[in-house]
Structure 1
Amino acid sequence: MRLVIARCSVDYAGKLTAHLPSAVRLIMVKADGSVSIHADDRAYKPLNWMNPPCSLREEPFEENGAVSRWTVTHSKSGERLILTIEEVLLDHGHELGPDPGLVKDGVEAHLQELLAEHIGTLGEGYSLVRREYPTAIGPVDILCRDATGATVAVEIKRRGEIDGVEQLTRYLELLNRDPLLAPVRGVFAAQEIKPQARVLATDRGIDCVTLDYDALRGIEHEGTLF
């Protein structure tokens, strides 16, 4: 892991273009090659990022007060993040080593296991692709396909709140960059879903499923899709 705090501007060049004006930001470069740019707000969601496989090229650049330029290029799509560095305040690298992974709440983990085993709870014709499908920001609980063959990402919580919808939104943003999976839609599944979370999910085109833990264990009836 490399952490750089620098005054920089950022330009994204791909299917669309985006520009972040000059400001002090945190740049994270991970061992998997991913690069993300963060502000001192927005919780853990980056302002912009590039997922692996990608390459990072650093070179001197002395124009308009800049000292260097970083170009992050995605190896498959050719998309680029261009960071114009004006001042480096901190540049620190540290080897984190292997991570044991997330240890989930017992009921939540069991819900994932049960739903994967009985994926038809989500609808007729659904088929499981994989549990804990890996992404650059963590594993998606369940990746599956619906009756039409379209990809569906499922995030499972015991209590469904706004932060869970935000988490699924980030996964969908990443998964929809993969041409082998896109388009990917989301399903937010929980034993209880808060009204605010349901409203946000609906606004973002994410389906909500209320899961009955006891019914899943006994396979007496299926969850309800809203």
Structure 2
Amino acid sequence: MRLVIAHCSVDYVGRLSAHLPMADRLIMIKADGSVSIHADDRAYKPLNWMTPPCTVKEMTLDEDGDQQTPLILWVVENPKGEQLRITIQKLHHELSWELGEDPGLVKDGVEAHLQELLAEHIDTLGEGYRLIRREYPTAIGPVDILCRDETGATVAVEIKRRGGIDGVEQLTRYLELLNRDDVLAPVQGIFAAQQIKPQARTLAEDRGIRCVTLDYDALRGIESDELRLF
């Protein structure tokens, strides 16, 4: 991980063009080759970024021929020829740190148990569904459940206790990766949770992802104590 705080401007050159004027920003370069530019707001979301694989070339420029004020230009380019051109006017701070291998996200007890129960009762998702495996490994993390529907099509399931937009984005990334595999493609998505926020449901359905609300007690085989007419 390399963190750089600098007074810089950023230009994106590709299918569209975008410009960030000179300002103090955080530039993050990860071991996987991704580069992202952050401001001191917007929570975790970067102002601009380049996903891996990409290359970073650094060069020194002279501003108006003045040797006393050199500019640093970083050219970040992906295989499609798209570029982030980061012009650094002043470097405030730089830190490099080896984080090592990440153990991955450890789910809380309820979420992990939901995954186990849904795998045991996969027909909760629909008649004819068959489990392929839990924690299906991918290059960006394990998919909670991979299964097949009644037609034999592959389905990736992301399970949350409370389903928000972040979970939909996570499943979207898995689907993009899985659909590159000719053996599995086409892969559909199901976003399953005990509670699904309205914004997350809207985003999921807009992306063709089916939402399923899970009843934890029903999966455990516990009868509801709600009053029934019959």
Q: TM-score, normalised by structure 2?
A: 0.70
Q: Is the 8 A contact 1:66 1:84 kept in 2?
A: no
Q: Give the equivalent residue in structure 2 for 1:158.
A: 161
Corresponding position: 1:24 with 2:28? no
- C-alpha separation between the residues in 2 aligned to 1:144 and 1:87? 52
Q: Hey, what does 2:226 align to over in structure 1?
A: none
Please show how residues 82-121 of structure 1 align to structure 2 within 5 Å: 82-116=85-119, 119-121=122-124
Contact 1:2 1:93 in 2 (8 A): yes
Letter in 1 for 2:107: K
1:28–1:133 Cα change, 3 Å: farther
Amino acid at match of 2:31: A
Stretches of structure 1 lacking an aligned partner (at least 5 in a row): 219-226
Q: How far is the alpha carbon of 1:129 from its aligned partner?
A: 7.5
> Displacement of 1:173 after TM fit?
5.8
The one-letter code of the counterpart of 1:40 is: D
- Who is 2:59 aligned against? 59
Describe the SS at the equivalent of 2:168. helix
The 8 Å contact of residues 188 and 207 in structure 1, kept in 2 or not, is answered as yes
- Shift in Å at residue 106 of structure 1? 0.9
Please name the residue that 1:221 is paired with: none
| Post-superposition offset of 1:210 | 0.3
Q: Distance in 2 between matches of 1:120 and 1:31?
A: 40
Matched, 1:193 2:199: no
Q: Is the 8 A contact 1:69 1:83 kept in 2?
A: yes
Letter in 1 for 2:9: S
- Aligned match of 1:36: 36
Asked if the contact 1:133/1:143 (under 8 Å) is kept, the reply is no
| In structure 1, distance between residues paired with 2:24 and 2:174 | 25
Give distance in 2, aligned partners of 1:194 and 1:152. Answer: 22
Change (3 A) 1:85 1:118: farther
- RMSD of aligned residue pairs (Cα, Å): 3.7
Cα offset, 1:92, TM superposition: 0.6
Take 1:50 and 1:87, find their aligned partners in 2: how far apart are those partners?
Answer: 22
Aligned partners of 2:123 and 2:129 also within 8 Å: yes
Q: Are 2:53 and 1:50 aligned?
A: no
Residues 40-79 of structure 1, C-alpha deviation per residue, up to 9 Å, x if partnerless?
A: 222112222222222221111334777111122224x443
Structure 2 vs 1, CA of residues 198 and 168 (structure 1 numbering), >3 Å: closer, same or farther? closer
* Bigger-Rg structure (1/2): 2
Partners of 2:143 and 2:174 within 8 A in 1: no
Shift of 1:7: 2.1
1:71 maps to 2:75: yes
Partners of 1:94 and 1:120 lie apart in 2 by 46
SS at match of 2:102: coil
Distance in structure 2 (CA, Å) of the matches to 1:145 and 1:134: 17
- Counterpart residue number, 2:228: none
Equivalent position amino acid for 2:93 in 1 = L
2-structure distance, mates of 1:47, 1:184: 30
User: Is the partner of 2:99 in helix, strand or coil?
Assistant: coil
Q: Report how far residue 34 of structure 1 moved.
A: 1.8
Counterpart of 1:216? 219
Q: Which residue of 2 aligns with 1:2?
A: 2
In structure 2, the CA distance between the partners of 1:197 and 1:61, relative to structure 1 (3 Å rule), is same
Structure 2 unaligned blocks of 5 or more: 222-230
